[in-house]
Amino acid sequence: MEVITNKQTSTRRVNVRNLVKIALLASSATLLMLFEIPLWFAPSFYEIDLSEVAVLIGAFAMGPLAGVMIEAIKIILNLLINGTLTAGVGEFANFLFGCSFIVPAALIYRSKKSVKTAVAGMAAGTILMAAIGALVNAYVLLPVYAGAFGMPLSALVEMGSKVNAGITDMRSFILLAVVPFNLLKGVMTAVVTLLLYKRVSPLLHK
C-alpha cells in the first residue's frame, strides 16, 4: 500500500498550480499576439506584438523551462486560431526567436534576482534574438515566404525598398528591417515587462 507523504502532496499541488499558471499565461500571450503594431521601416508583414511579455513574466517567475512551455503553447494556440501560410515553418521560427529571447533572460535573472540582472538578461536575450532572427530570416524564413506566395526573393526586397530607400538587396533588407525589428521588439518587451512584473509577481508566487 502506497503511503503519500505531506511533502509529496505539497509537490503535486505546486506542480498543478504551475500548470495552471502556464496555461493562463499562454492564453494571455496568445491574445496579445492578435494585436500587432505595424512598423515604418519594414514591409507590412513585419508587425510587432507584445506576446513575449506574458512569456517572459512566466519565465522570470517559474524558470526558463516554464517559459519555453508557455511559448510552445502560445504558438500551438495561434496555429489553431489563425492557421499557417508557411506549413508551420514561420511558427517554428517564431518559437525559436521567442526562446532565444526568454531563455537567456530567465537564466541570468535566476542567478541573482534583481532589477539589474533582469535588465542584463533581457539585453542578452534581445541581442541573441536579433542575431538568430537575422540568420533564420535570411536562409529559411524569407525564402519560405517567397515560395509560399509564388514570388522571387527580389519581390520582397522591392517591398522593403518602398518603405525604406536604404533597402536595395537581401543583405540590406536583413540589416535595415529584420535586425531593427527584433531589437525593437526586445526593447519594447523588456520595458513593458519591467513595468508589470513586480505587480504581477506576487500573484504568480501565491
Per the domain annotation, does 102 fall within a domain?
A: yes
Identify the CA nearest to 101 among candidates 183, 196, 200: 183
Per the domain annotation, does 1 fall within a domain?
A: no
How many folded domains does the chain comprise?
1
Per the domain annotation, does 74 fall within a domain?
A: yes
CATH of the domain at 155: 1.10.1760.20
Task: Give the model's confidence band at 1: pLDDT under 50 very low, under 70 low, under 90 confident, else very high.
Answer: very low
Q: Is 69:97 a contact under the CB 8 Å cutoff? A: no
pTM here? 0.87
For the chain, the three-class secondary structure string (H helix, E strand, C coil) is: CCCCCHHHHHHHHHHHHHHHHHHHHHHHHHHHHCCCEECCCCCCCCEECCHHHHHHHHHHHHCHHHHHHHHHHHHHHHHHHHCCCCCCHHHHHHHHHHHHHHHHHHHHHHHCCCHHHHHHHHHHHHHHHHHHHHHHHHHHHHHHHHHHCCCCHHHHHHHHHHHCCCCCCHHHHHHHHHHHHHHHHHHHHHHHHHHHHHHHHHHHCC
Per the domain annotation, does 76 fall within a domain?
A: yes
Range of the domain at 78: 6-204
Q: What percent of the chain has pLDDT over 70?
A: 92
Ramachandran angles phi, psi of 38, nearest 5°: -70, 155
Q: Is 99:74 a contact under the CB 8 Å cutoff? A: no
The model's pLDDT over 94-130, given as tens digits with 9 standing for 90+, comes to 999 999 999 999 999 999 899 999 999 999 999 999 9
The model's pLDDT over 73-89, given as tens digits with 9 standing for 90+, comes to 999 999 998 888 777 88
Per the domain annotation, does 87 fall within a domain?
A: yes
Residue 123 identity (one-letter amino acid): A
